[in-house]
Structure 1
């Protein structure tokens, strides 16, 4: 198979041998197509084409937006419009002057498999992102 350009992994089980035999059978049944694909994949361009790269920018721009929660405004908030849960710290809750939160029975699981239970739920709190109209959100 090395003449065709195919390197097969070592066989350690009968199932591996069966899978490899099926692969070899498929390659031999379609040897013209395989040869054409190999020709395309090893095509040498004359003259060689230098890959083009995107020019590096001095500044990448601004990835943050202004965000207003109630009467509190942040000029450089990172916002995820697609988030299904909005989470804020207890320090932010205190800064917003929120004193009452509803009890919360859910938990949040993170990508590293850790989880936590939010301290409470804030429902229908006014929020404005950038120049969009104000909306009412629920915060955990």
Structure 2
């Protein structure tokens, strides 16, 4: 019964909470992160910090969301996998707006990128918390 309720709650959250075009996946280890997240963590975090992140899967999932899913590449441009892996969303945090999306040009990738608003990000980060609360309650 408890398992059935957990699955049902997860499905409801998935349907309601992740109805945006981007979906949040359950991250349980570093290898579950998007390639761009893996590259940025390896480049910017010490070995100790990476070990700590691996222990705190909720924090790792939130970081993965920010680095790999809190934006989308603007329409009408060809985006190569290598370009996706080069984009660093953290460097554009100051450009984000509270309640509207902003499009920026990233000179590293040569692409226009639409950054999700802080409100959209907060909603997704809350959904990640809910998802991990459900999983940890079992």
Q: TM-score range by the shorter chain?
A: under 0.3
TM superposition score normalised by structure 1: 0.23
The structure in which a higher percent of residues are strand is 1
Question: Which is greater in Rg?
Answer: 1
